[in-house]
Structure 1
Amino acid sequence: MSSAPPPGLDPERLRALLDRELPAGVAGPLDARLIEGGRSNLTYAVTDGVHRWVVRRPPLGHVLATAHDMRREHRVLSALHPTAVPVPRPVLLCEDESVLGAPFYVMDFVPGTPYRSAAQLAPLGAERTRAAVLGLVDTLVELHAVDPESVGLGDFGRPDGFLERQLRRWGKQLAASRGRELAGIDELHAALGRELPVSPAPAVVHGDYRLDNVLIGDGDRITAVLDWEMSTLGDPLTDLGLLVMYSTPLDVPGSVVATTATAEGHPPAAELAERYAARSGRGVERLPWYTAFAWFKLAVILEGIHHRYTLGQTVGAGFDRIGELVPLFIEHGLTTLQEG
């Protein structure tokens, strides 16, 4: 049992709620622990000694409601759970802030492992690593095959003008993070705007789809896709572009940016794109644009972290090296766009 409850979760208040809301109630006192590795919302593993659940809530302190929308995450899980897309079963949504101090939702615990680095994949060996990553593509195809209207997500986003809004949004993020000159980033942003693709039919988009946002279980199958806070209706190829970017080997120091692409057996990015195209029926001729956009987006995110670090607002292992990575991401973005 934990010696003290983790910050942001009161086991007694949560137990009272679950006792009221669950048909079978709760078997005993709750034990809770914070699951490390989340980048934004807080995730806890909770058990009463018989059942296991996971609780998701916004970060502690003041946050923008739109950035940490528990109702939205709970809604997409509820919609996708009956489909072929593996997601945890949502148990309940609580918007009463008197329980845990913020809205939160509870879902079933799903066994599996999130692989965040090539070193973590190494014990699987080449064959099992390959199977897991190809499964990542196949699951993405399943997600993008879901008809949003048929699962009640027809109004989950605004697909019209999706790419223009995304580019504008990340341009604003860049402007808010500017603390130094970054050669090529304005050129990359402008070129992306000039060469905007025509989007295919909209789909449910995960928004941050990569290997460490899924759980791999027995048989090296994906047991759950997690972290739906960026999900919306939009251009499905943005998910593929991000996956291709994360599947490109990067020569970066330490584990500042998680990459599994160098693991033995990891399929090359081109093979992942070909598999997606063959199984989804979508053309990927403009994929270099989407991949370049992913490089741009990550450059902006990393520059934001670097900017906050220089202001003394962010501390942590490796944050002092993040600033060195940003030019590398810009260079990859420019090169990818030119190749396309």
Structure 2
Amino acid sequence: MIDTAKLAAWMDEQNLPGKGEPLETKFLSGGTQNEIYKLTRGEHVSVIRLPPAAAPANRDDGIMREWRIIEALDGTDVPHTKAIAACSDTSVLGRAFYLMGFVDGWSPMDNKKWKEPFTSDPELRRGLAFQLAEGIALLSKVDWQAKGLQDLGRPDGFHERQVTRWTSFFDRIKGRELDGMDESTAWLNAHKPLDFIPGLMHGDYQFANVMFKEGAPAQLAAIVDWEMGTVGDPKLDLAWMIQGWPEDTSAPEAATSSYVDLSGMPSKQEMVDHYAKVSGRQVDDLDYYLVLAKWKLAIVLEQGFQRAGDDHKLQSFGSIVPQLMRGAADFAASSDYKS
């Protein structure tokens, strides 16, 4: 629970809207890494994001890192939550936190299904996918240097570090062998992108981490959850988004291949073409990024599986991870990408 008296006093010190009025809080969502509450003071509504009390101490640094990204997005074309204020002083609420604008919209994670009119109109639903692709295309165009994010990531040597970093990570959490890992790792070591134009990237870009405005046509309201945000290679966001996209969205399995129904959505190639058009980036080397995305996602999910305990969701990763890693190896073997 949030100490509303302390938070209200801090908000008053910052001269935020609603000064002196009663503060009401409503829990929206949260887990082991972050908690989100809706804040209401009279007519003024905002959202606070902060780590739970039991989260590791470094999550405070993570919160302030997220804040820097959200603040940098102000004035850009990227749909985002408004940056309001941040506090790194843990004496206020016990953890670092930031306030952002409340998004009047909906998430595909709400009951894990589309909201009307997108449920009954497949053509309108296609717009949701194109908006998803457009979100990271716009993100890739942000002038991160002009926004003062030079120290947010380490773009120099980004790709050279990927295999070393994540194989070392896997070795630390390793609890079993993964079929296909040796082949896909060797393929990644033997290949590289055609070019590398550093940019701001989300790190976990998918339908679960965006919100849409109410009504049609589809319009992205905000990209959310910036825990993995960094300066790196934005095309990895593209590959992350489509690595599990069904080849044929008219096939029956498209309805069940993801946590949301992808039937009737644009094809994978249409998504890639739209990203390329909006971002201005070439995508001829996409195979490299798709292998990297599948391989990396398998390792990330393997950590969850190794720490699953009684968590049924994390336990389910036990069968998903081998499929991903084998898929990365098979895709690499079938690719004619030569760089």
Query: TM-score band, normalised by the shorter chain?
Result: 0.7 to 0.9
Structure 1: stretches of 5+ with no match in the other structure: 1-5
2:100 is paired with a residue whose SS is strand
1:14 is paired with a residue whose SS is helix
CA RMSD of aligned residues (A): 2.7
Query: What do residues 136-186 of structure 1 show as CA deviations (whole Å, max 9, x unaligned)?
Result: 112222111122222222333221111222332221221122112222223
1:54 is paired with a residue whose SS is strand
Per the alignment, residue 301 of structure 1 pairs with 300
**Identical counterparts, % of pairs:** 33
Give 1:204 shift: 1.0
Asked if the contact 1:117/1:258 (under 8 Å) is kept, the reply is: no
Per the alignment, residue 9 of structure 2 pairs with 16
Residue 329 in structure 1 maps to residue 324 in structure 2: yes
Q: Could you tell which deviates more after superposition, 79-88 or 148-157?
A: 148-157
Per the alignment, residue 240 of structure 2 pairs with 242
Asked if the contact 2:4/2:24 (under 8 Å) is kept, the reply is: yes
User: Partners in 1 of 2:106 and 2:32 — Cα distance?
Assistant: 17
Query: What do residues 111-148 of structure 1 show as CA deviations (whole Å, max 9, x unaligned)?
Result: 11111389512742312221011011122221111222
Asked if the contact 2:51/2:59 (under 8 Å) is kept, the reply is: no
Q: How does 1:73-112 map to 2 (within 5 A)?
A: 73-112=66-105
Per the alignment, residue 318 of structure 1 pairs with 313
Asked if the contact 2:129/2:265 (under 8 Å) is kept, the reply is: yes
- Choose the corresponding residue for 2:133, options 114, 134, 137: 137
Give 1:258 shift: 5.7
Residues 235 and 59 (structure 1), Cα distance of their counterparts in 2 relative to 1, 3 Å cut: same
Asked if the contact 1:203/1:233 (under 8 Å) is kept, the reply is: yes
User: Partners in 2 of 1:132 and 1:96 — Cα distance?
Assistant: 39
User: Partners in 2 of 1:62 and 1:117 — Cα distance?
Assistant: 25
Per the alignment, residue 163 of structure 2 pairs with 167
User: Partners in 2 of 1:67 and 1:304 — Cα distance?
Assistant: 22
User: Partners in 2 of 1:230 and 1:321 — Cα distance?
Assistant: 23
Per the alignment, residue 124 of structure 2 pairs with 128
Residues 41 and 190 (structure 1), Cα distance of their counterparts in 2 relative to 1, 3 Å cut: farther
User: Partners in 2 of 1:52 and 1:222 — Cα distance?
Assistant: 20
Structure 2: stretches of 5+ with no match in the other structure: none
2:103 is paired with a residue whose SS is coil
User: Partners in 2 of 1:265 and 1:37 — Cα distance?
Assistant: 32
User: Partners in 2 of 1:322 and 1:67 — Cα distance?
Assistant: 28
Give 1:338 shift: 2.5
Asked if the contact 2:243/2:293 (under 8 Å) is kept, the reply is: yes
Q: How does 1:96-245 map to 2 (within 5 A)?
A: 96-116=89-109, 119-121=112-114, 123=116, 124-125=118-119, 126-218=122-214, 219=216, 220-245=218-243
Q: Taking structure 1 as the reference length, what is the TM-score of the superposition? A: 0.87
Q: Taking structure 2 as the reference length, what is the TM-score of the superposition? A: 0.87
Per the alignment, residue 266 of structure 2 pairs with 267
